[in-house]
Chain A
């Protein structure tokens, strides 16, 4: 079974401070990991995926297979980063492995 754990429901930081949103996963195989963001009253949108190795809006995430983690980081948080962040996992293979399994999300608040 695949599972995604985001241990923090809420995370509050001040503008300019570093931020790290934690994500741990459980999957017997090679997963694909994603971060989705949902700004207030907007749809879920893909922020980044581990295979792209991109930095989007200053965010990066590194897949650590040893620790089964995919933490999202940004060195200097901005107020506009305030949103709900979801870590998601997809297996590689047939059937239900194709589905995205989401963590319960972390609500990030960046205070001025």
Chain B
């Protein structure tokens, strides 16, 4: 067990709705990453936080936002959901902010938009 926990594991919601995905990093890890995995796009980096601050931004839509709280857990907010947002959303964590640190992934949150 890598120690990265994500909730919920599965979520079904309707178009236009808003959901929040939660991630708790491994104990001691300060950096949190969010990735979206879909059949057509593969694994896409969304955003990274390090010790509460946004560190790097990838292909994250404006309808999506994230934050990292003082206790280091992170939330990914997805709003005005569309069918195409259906995907597996991974959270990952690492000790530091840079590539020299191994990144550990959570089990993911399956989002289905109907």
Contact = CB atoms under 8 A, between A and B. Distances in A.
Interface string B70-109: 0000000000000000000010100001111011111110
Given A95-B56, A99-B56, A105-B43, A43 B105 contact: yes
A32 B99 contact: yes
A69 interface: no
A22 interface: no
Interface residues of B, number: 26
A96 B2 contact: no
Given A32-B99, A43-B106, A44-B90, A99 B45 contact: yes
A98 B94 CA distance: 12
A45 B2 contact: yes
A25 interface: no
A70 interface: no
Interface residues of A, number: 23
Contact of A98 (B2, B4, B99): B99
B18 interface: no
B98 A102 contact: no
B103 A100 contact: yes
Interface string A71-112: 000000000000000100011100111111111110000000
A91 B42 contact: no
Interface of B: 2, 4, 33, 35, 42-45, 48, 55-58, 90, 92, 97-100, 102-108
